[in-house]
Amino acid sequence: MVYNYKIKVKLKGFEKQIKRTFVINDNVKINDFCKAIITSMNGYLEHLYTLKYKDKYYICDYMDKNDYNEIKMNSLRINKLLLEEKDTLELIYDFGDNWIFKISVAKVMSGHNDKNIELIDGIGKGIEEDCGGTWGLIDLINDKNNSWNYDYDDFDINQINNELDKKYNMRK
C-alpha cells in the first residue's frame, strides 16, 4: 500500500506565527523531506540537521554516528518510518542556532499525489540564518531599524512551491 501524509510544521518558539502544511508522498527520501521543510522555512541548507522520531535520530549524511540510536538517512524513505496520524517528530537544524521544527502527522491518506512534496499552507517568513536562533529572531522582529532587512510576514507559497518543484517534483 502507498500513502501520502498531511504534515504540519511549526517553528518552536513561534508556533502560531511561523508554520507550514505539506502533503508528502511516502516514497520521498527522509533527507529530502528534511530539506523541503528547511527550505520552506527560509533556510539555506548550509548547516547540519537531524530528525528525531520515536527515540531515534535520523542524521544527515555528513554526520558521524555517535550513538546506538542514530541512523544515517542515506536513501531511507518516509515509508520506513511507518508514520501514523498524530505522530510527532522534531527536525533540528543548525546546531549553533538550534532551530527546532515541531512536526505532526495530521492525516494519512492512501495513494500518491502528483507531486512528491507540496506546500499547501503556511504563514510567516521563517528563520534567518546565523541570527542567533530563537532569541536572535525575536531581536530581528523587534529591530526598529530592520538592519537585517528581515520581513517577518514575507511568505510566498508559490515561490516556495516553485523551489520544491525544481528539487523534488521533476519527472524524469
pLDDT tens figures, 76-102: 999 999 999 999 999 999 999 999 999
Q: Is the dihedral of CA 8, 166, 168, 72 positive or negative?
A: negative
Is residue 171 very low, low, confident or very high in pLDDT (cuts 50, 70, 90)? low
For residues 124 and 168, give the distance between their C-alpha atoms in angstroms, rounded to a whole number. Answer: 23
Annotation: CATH topology of 3-168: 3.10.290
Answer yes or no: pTM beyond 0.85: yes
The cell for 167 is 528539487
Write down the residue that cell numbers 540510536 correspond to: 69
Residue 115 to residue 91: CA distance in whole angstroms: 22
